[in-house]
Structure formats: structure tokens, C-alpha cells
Amino acid sequence: MTASERSKAWREKQLKERPEEFRKYNADRAKALYHKNPCIAQKQQENFKKSYNENPEFREKVVRSVSLGRYGKTPAEYDAQLEEQGGHCALCESTDGDAGRRLHVDHDHACCNGKARTCGKCNRGLLCGPCNRRLAAVEDVLTMGTITPQPDTWLSKALAYLDSYKRI
């Protein structure tokens, strides 16, 4: 095993066993390195911006990774859940989030106390933008009491969706 392979195995082990500590360790190391050598940070930033602007595949990968990371979800997990939902919103037949973007990861806002990253346990389904916003309004109303929807409506489907995740 080469030094590079050993190093990679060590990083993977640390990330698996102590994810928060390891992320902080890496962030602190990077800050110290860039503080001592600002030209390195500037060069990396220039390379990143160039790749981001000129390579649509790279840009898509970055955007997807960052946004999914907020929910403790990998792109593979997202794809698996999307396939499980039939390739569309969990509440309607829409196949995109907003303005052609991917579907939103729905999660219980009562969990995680407004942290930038969710715990991942409060994630529910994948929703289009309009359904995600409407569901948030339904959850607000539910804090005031119960709702009795008309059968076979979006609201009845939304309440069944929330019940299925036991988050009401």
C-alpha cells in the first residue's frame, strides 16, 4: 500500500468514526495553511472559479453536493429516493423543483433547531418547489389544531404524506 493509499484510508476512517471532529480538524488545518500562504488560497480560488464557470458538469456536481450535504444526503441516496418516488415529487407529478432545478429535500423544520445542516433523520421525501412551500404552510396550520380535508385533494395527500413520516 502506497503512502497516498494509506493516507486516503486514514482520512476515510476518521471521517466515518469522528465526522464532526475530523471536519473541524481539516477546516483548522486549511485556515492555518492559507493564513501562512495566501497565494495558495488565491490560486485555488481562481482555479475553482475557472472550472465552475467553464465546466457545466463540474458546476452541477458542486451545486448538487453542497445543497445535498446540508441534508446529510449523498447524490446516490438522492437518486435512489427519486427513483423510489417514480422520478417525481412525492405529492404531485412535477419532475423539477423550481425553474428546472432538481426536487427539494423535504425535512421536518421542528427538528435540528434551525441549524445549517440537518441531522438527516428528519428528512422526508423529495418535493417540487410549490408543494414544498404549500406543505410548510400546512405544517404551520397544524400547530394550531387539526385539519379535516376533502377526500382526494392535494391537502388529503399532504396530510397522509406527513402521517407516513410521523412528524405531525
The yes-or-no verdict on residue 67 having pLDDT over 60 is: yes
In this model, does residue 73 exceed pLDDT 70? yes
- Write out the three cell numbers for 167: 412528524
For 52-107, the DSSP string reads HHH-HHHHHHHHHHHHHHTTT--HHHHHHHHHHTTSS-SSSS---SSTTPPPEEEE
Q: Closest by alpha carbon to 70, among 30, 110, 18, 123?
A: 123
Q: What is the pLDDT of residue 134?
A: 92
| pLDDT at 37 > cutoff 60 | yes
The mean pLDDT of 14-37, rounded to a whole number, is 88
Q: Does residue 111 sit in helix, strand or coil? A: coil
State how far the Cα of 74 lies from the Cα of 29, in Å rounded to an integer. Answer: 25
Q: In the chain, what are the domain boundaries?
A: 125-168
Write down the pLDDT at residue 115.
66
pLDDT for 93-131, tens place per residue? Answer: 988 777 667 788 888 877 877 666 777 778 888 999 899
3-state SS, residue 125: strand
The mean pLDDT of 30-58, rounded to a whole number, is: 87
Phi, psi of 35 (to 5 degrees): -65, -40
CB-CB contact of 52 with 89 (8 Å): no
Find how far residue 27's CA is from the centre of its chain.
Answer: 20
The answer to whether 72 and 120 have CB atoms below 8 angstroms apart is yes
The pLDDT mean for the chain works out to 84
- Do the Cβ atoms of 90 and 162 come closer than 8 Å? no
Name the residue among 114, 26, 28, 110 with its Cα closest to residue 70. 114
